[in-house]
Amino acid sequence: MIYRSKAPLRIGLAGGGTDVSPYSDLYGGAILNATISLYANATIEPIPEKKIIVNAIDRNEEEIFDWSKELPINGHLDLLKGIYNRIQKDYGIGEQGFRLSTFVDAPAGSGLGTSSTLVVAIIGAFTEMLRLPLGEYDMAHYAYDIERNDLKLAGGKQDQYAATFGGVNFMEFYGEDKVIVNPLRIKQQYLFELENNLLLYYTSTNRESADIIKKQSRNVVDKKGAPIEAMHQLKEQAKQMKEALLKGKLNEVGEILDFGFQQKRKMAEGISNPLMEEIYETAKKGGATGGKISGAGGGGFMIFYCPVNTKYAVIKGLEKFGGRYRRYKFTDHGLTTWTI
């Protein structure tokens, strides 16, 4: 048997950063995101030897261990090993050797939720192999718990839920553990138009999101007024985006994104930088009415709302920066698992 899974990456459209503790614990957060046709993939293949092989194919990294109940967390392929350790502890895996292989369709640190989506995909493959009775909320919370508590990785809560549920969702965060996922029933023609007008641009630079997220969290702990007020405004932005999409007011999407871009820069140092500012202004000169830095900021993907047919002029204008745009489709499904 071979056990496979895939989970979709996501575009954050509004409210980014309000899902990060301690802001979401103290004030409650709101996010609007949509999953796209780029995936994190995981495969578990039993092997006759009593070995455990973990292999990140896209990164050309592999480690081989004699079978053990716990693998070392040493800064190399820790996501793969940490999930194995937790599954082994909670559910038990027989002394069967196996190869765990992963592949992600976007680079790590690019702002599309790659790490958390990969965690969901790996848990999905183990769930398929062991027939674990985990529902969508269970799966997402389990992934969050492994990342934040077992592996001590800084980050928010939205990515695990986006990867598990899929589709376009308005997510609400209350206290430390309460998350409510509200799937949005957006008319198909509105989604087609949003997909047509929303340009996904990779800046060809990556960043360490944990550093930016730690600064953001520290600003909340230190009760810094401007960053906290910016997060309040981003929470309102998520509500504005929800209304615009549900009512088909797509001409407002660019302005709502632009409002969020101005606010997000105030949350923490390093979210934006001179290169990203120049890219943003160039896109607006080409006809984009707004955009945002995807994920925590500092690099990776940016998105731009380009009404009518302005995206072609925007793509042309951005050529000088050496990045590239990525084609995608919105997806209505989340984590998918199967057995061969």
Q: By three-state DSSP, how is residue 144 classified?
A: helix
Residue with tokens 């731009």: 304
| Strands 51-56 and 29-46, sheet pairing | unpaired
Pair 54, 126: CB distance under 8 Å: no
> Catalytic: 332?
no
Q: Report d(CA 84, CA 96) in Å as an integer.
A: 13
Q: Report d(CA 202, CA 325) in Å as an integer.
A: 6
Tokens describing residue 301: 């993907």
CB burial of residue 315 (10 Å; 0-12, 13-18, 19+): middle
Residue 308 is given by DSSP the state T
Q: How many CA atoms lie within 13 A of 166 on its CB side?
A: 18
Single out the catalytic residue among 90, 159, 177, 332: 159
Pair 284, 181: CB distance under 8 Å: no
Other CB atoms within a 10 A radius of the CB of residue 268 amount to: 26
Q: Report d(CA 96, CA 46) in Å as an integer.
A: 7
Pair 22, 220: CB distance under 8 Å: yes
Q: By three-state DSSP, how is residue 13 classified?
A: strand
Residue with tokens 């047919």: 309
Q: By three-state DSSP, how is residue 273 classified?
A: coil
Residue with tokens 């508590």: 149
Residue 330 is given by DSSP the state B
Distance from the Cα of residue 164 to its chain's centroid: 11
Q: Which residues have a catalytic role annotated? A: 159
